[in-house]
Every structure is written in C-alpha cells, then in structure tokens.
Amino acid sequence: MERLQGIAVSPGIAIGEALVLDNEGFRIPRRFLPRDAVEEELERLDRALSAAVAEVEHNRKQVAEQLGDEYAAIFSAHIQMLRDPRLHDEIVEMIRSRHYSPEYAVSRALRRYAKVFQSLEGQYMAERANDIFDIEKRILRNLLGRRREELSQVTSPVLVLAHNLTPSETANLDPRFALGMVTEIGGPGSHTAIVAEGLGIPAIVGVGPFLTDVSGGDTVIIDGDQGQIVLHPDEETLARYRHEVEEQRSLAAKLESLRELPAKTMDGTPIQLLGNIEFPYEVKQCDERGAAGIGLYRTEFIYLGRDDDPSEETHFESYSSVVQAMASKPVVMRTLDLGADKMRSLPDPEDERNPFLGLRSIRLALRNRDLFRIQLRAILRASVLGEIRIMFPLISTILEFRQARMVLSDAMEDLDEAGIPYDKDIKVGMMVEVPSAVMMMDRFVEEVDFFSIGTNDLIQYCLAVDRSNKDVANLYTAADPSVIRMIDMAVTCANNHDVPIGTCGQMCGDPTYTMLLLGLGLRSLSVTPAAVPEIKRVCRSVSISQCREVAQKVLELDSAREIKTFLKEELSKVFPEFPT
C-alpha cells in the first residue's frame, strides 16, 4: 500500500479502478493479461517495436540528408536501443512469466533504465534519461495506436489519474463515470481544480510524479478531504474508507432536507446563497441544491474546447437557456475571462512569460473588441428573458471599467438600430480581484452597480503566488491576514456607499470561512453548487453578532496558520463533527 499527499481541491471519498493517463494523455492499460493472450500480445509487441524502428530510421535518414551524419547519430542510438536483444528479452520475460501487458512491461523496463540515468549527476545523464522516455513514448504510441484519450468517451466507472488535465478536459469528464480525479501537477486555485469541484467529484492536484507506480485497473482510493491518494490499499484501509463513504452519503441526505429552507442566520438576517457555473447544464444542480440564483457564470468556457470562435447565436442559446431555467432568479454573467490557464492554444513564451500578469481577461476582451461585442450583444438579447446582470472580470483601473462600459454601449446601439429589445437598466458590475481595485474602491463605487470579490485571483495577486503552481501552494491561502484585510477594506467601502457587494471565489464555498465572511459584512456568497447546502447549514446555525466577534478576532491575528486554526475551532464549536 502506498499513500501519497497532494493538494485537496474537491472534497469526498472515491474508491475504484484507476484510469491512468501519462503526460501525453495515453491511457496506460491494465497491468495483467489473461494467460491465453500471451502469444498474441508478444506478436503485438514485436509489431510495435518494428514500427518504432521504421519511424526512427525515417527520421535518421532525413536528418542525415539535411544536416549530416553527425546530427543523425542520436537516432542511431535510439535504433540501437530499440533493437537491443537484452531489453527485448527483459520485456518478453515480463510478459511471459508475470503476464504483464506489453505496455506495462515496456514502461517498467524502460523506466528502470531511465531512473538509473536520472540518479547520476549531470546534464548529459539527464538528457540520456530523456532519450529513454522518448523511446518509451514512441513504443507506447505504436502499441496504443492513437493519441490522447477521449475522456468524454469513458463509459464505465473509473478514477482518472493523469499527469495534467486542462480545464476543458476536466469539464468533459462525465461525473457518472469519472468518480474522482488526481493530477501530478497543478495548484489549488487552478481552473482544473475549480471545474473538478464544480463536477462534485473528489479531486487532488499537485501530487508530484506517481503514475509509474500505478496501472489501469488497479484499485485506488481518492481522499479529497485530506488530499491523499492511496495506491494498492489493504483490506483494512478499504473497509475504513467504505465506512466513510456511507457516512458521507447519510450527511448528504440530511443536507438535502435544507433545500427549501431559507438561508437566514439565527437572528433572522437573510443571506443570498448563489451558485457558480461554467456550463448551462449546471443550472440543474444549482436548482437541486437550493441556490437563489447564479452569482458567477464563467462564460469563457464557451470558447474553450472548440477551434473556432462561437457565433452570437451560440452565445445566445447558452445564455437564454440558463436565464430561462433560472426563471426570475438573478444570473450574473461574467464576460469572457480567457487567458492564463484558460486558453485554447499555448501563447508564444516570448510574449507571455507571465500569463497571469499578461494579456488575459478584460485586457484580452478590450484588445479584441469585435469578439467582445458579439458576446455582449448576445447577453443583452438574453436580458429580456430573465434577471441578467453583467460583470467585468479582472478590472484593475477605472479607465478599464469605463472602456468596457463603452463597448457595452456600442453593443446596445447595435441592438437599438436593429430594433432588438434588451433590458435598458441592466446592472453592470465588476469583479474585485486585483489589489489595485481594492485600493480604488472609493472611486469605483461611483461607477458600478455592484461588486463581486474574486478571492481566487485576489489571493494570487495579493501574495504574488501563482494559483496553479503546486510548488508555491503552501503560500496560496485565503487565511492569509493580508487577503482578509483586503476583503475587509473592499466590503467596508462598498457597504458604506450602499453599493451591493458579494463574493464568488472558492473561499466562500469552504465552511471554515463562512462566519468570517458574514462577520466582515458580506451578505451574498456565490459558491460551487455542491457546497450550497453545507454553507446554508452554517448560516442557519450562527448569529451575525457571533460572526462579527469572529471577524474582529481574526483581524487581530497575524499569520495564516493562526487564523485557520482559530476559524476551525470556532466552526467546531458550532458543529463538533468538523475536524479542527
């Protein structure tokens, strides 16, 4: 049994068979073969080896012709390795006597060699290890016969273990079959993590390299509460986790009974609990969990997972379906927030060395006004069908907000000219997710109809910590006193000027922070739909005066560790079952 620690990004326990994807998205198949399949599989191995040799030979010839034999030598070395009888015998032996699948045997044998090179010091040795990984991939490509696994095609229950998944690949997982997800890289605030939480499946990111220790079909446990993955669990561990799954089911059933009850604190203060969505189909989940509306619709997902730009009609269809499904409940449409980790293709590294500080979000929209206007027209057209609000992301200066409003006015003019109706009093707000916006709140209050604090980005820009980098994940926390002071400043200013303010970062879906956020003066929280019942339960069990005391105390503390411990203790006073 092996237990590995990663970063917990979506709670819950999942137990099941592993579907393993390497860093090119190849599915690493089952480890064992049926006894009578051995001969056939050996033939398949030899065919794959011959095809790999032919490919490298072709590359060698081309390079030799264009650049000379000296440059082609590397390919000769690859061919030599692919034809090495000792390596061949080793792989065949694993298939014959241990009944390993050819893919697994190839990986085992080659990675053993690569590890030897990796353990030796120096650039030259590191390059040789990379050569071996290259050869491994080439053979696997020939054995598996296709490129990336189509995750949307998975039709039996699995736990997806991958080197990395993009946000749109994650969105393609069907939660009926993908019961959980673990990646080797990725940080706590990445959109991959957020989408996994939205799907409501247990998920862990940033575990570090572990895929060589697991094969398709192995039983694994994902503990999304503790951020641990257990490989090859023993019977006792399995029994313990199965028991925990049962307990979680009964808690979920209890929470369901809250659906129709109001989100009101014990002293009767109403709290607006909204849902965050990425796709129209999530509206159903918001409704089932009792959300009072949509506080954040991440519309940029319309652009991801497709090669061309969506037309105005495509936008309109999605938006109108969401608004109509929500009936008269409010829907906050955040305009496109592309860039950084939400991209269709990788930017040129020469241009984008710091994608989170670069041309992303509203900056990208303002540079592509035609694209932006198409989206705004679609939102405006849908505004007659329900209660829509428009929100601009990543506003960092007043001028930026004004420019965005101007593009909106242009879109309104287009519709006026065409005689198309829209809500002329549509509310226009902004996200507060850059420290500069917090510092300028007293000016923004004059211009905006509402604010929503985006803590996911606010944490990263406040602490200068990349939200999707596992190596600095220890610094990425909402409990940092600087982040809490920023929230306090923003909320106090907005409340003093009677401009509505809410929050929609992942922080407000974590019950640890509910009392603090209410105590700081927030009355509107937009959370991942799965978290609505639990946050409602906390709201209904506390009073505002109690929350104010908690917030006062937190503002006196000076480290994230102290704050987190204090908040967990306070929560466990209300709910003793919460771990401190």
Which sequence positions are flagged as catalytic? 191, 504
Length of the chain, please? Answer: 580
455 binds, among ligand PEP, Mg ion, none (CB under 5 to 8 A by kind): ligand PEP
* Four-CA torsion 536, 538, 541, 544, nearest 10 degrees: -100
Residue 151: name the closest of 172, 168, 167, 166 by CA. 172
Sketch the per residue contact string, 53 through 72, with Mg ion: x for CB under 5 A, - otherwise. Answer: --------------------
**Angle, to 10 degrees, between the axis of helix 560-574 and the axis of helix 544-556?**
160
Q: Toward ligand PEP, which CB reaches closer, 56 or 508? A: 508
* Least separation in angstroms between CB 57 and Mg ion: 50
Residue 21 main-chain phi, psi, to 5 deg: -115, 125
- Measured from the CB atom, the residue of 8 and 135 that comes closer to ligand PEP is 8
Residue 504 interacting entry, from Mg ion, ligand PEP, none, C-beta within 5 to 8 Å by type: ligand PEP
> Which residue's entry shows tokens 């057209």?
381
* Residues at the interface with ligand PEP (CB under 6 A): 194, 296, 298, 337, 433, 454-457, 504-505
Partner touching 298 among Mg ion, ligand PEP, none, CB below 5 to 8 Å by kind: ligand PEP
**CB-CB contact of 60 with 75 (8 Å):** yes
d(CA 71, CA 284): 59
Least separation in angstroms between residue 76's CB and ligand PEP is 49
Q: Closer to ligand PEP by CB, 337 or 466: give it.
A: 337
- 300 is a contact residue toward Mg ion (CB under 5 A): no
Q: How far is the CB of 194 from ligand PEP (least distance, A)?
A: 6
Nearer to ligand PEP, 182 or 504 (CB): 504
Shortest CB 484 distance to ligand PEP, Å: 15
Number of other residues whose CB lies within 10 A of the CB of residue 4: 18
174 three-state secondary structure: coil
Q: Of 469 and 546, which has the nearer Cβ to ligand PEP?
A: 469
Surface-to-core class of residue 359, CB atoms within 10 Å of its CB (0-12 exposed, 13-18 middle, 19+ buried): middle
Residue 38 C-alpha from the chain's centroid: 40
Nearer to ligand PEP, 227 or 505 (CB): 505
- Least distance in angstroms from the C-beta of 457 to ligand PEP: 3
The helices-and-strands tally (H runs, E runs) of the chain is 21, 17
Q: H or E element: which one contains 142?
A: helix 123-144
Per-residue tokens: 338: 């592309």
**Number of Cβ within a 10 Å radius of residue 73:** 13
Cβ-closest residue to ligand PEP? 454
Identify residues 375-434 at the interface with Mg ion (CB under 5 A).
433
Task: Using DSSP bridges, classify how beta strands 203-205 and 7-10 pair: parallel, antiparallel or unpaired.
Answer: antiparallel
x/- mask, Mg ion, residues 429-468, rule CB under 5 A, reads ----x--------------------x--x-----------
What does the binding site for Mg ion look like in residue numbers (CB under 5 A)? 433, 454, 457
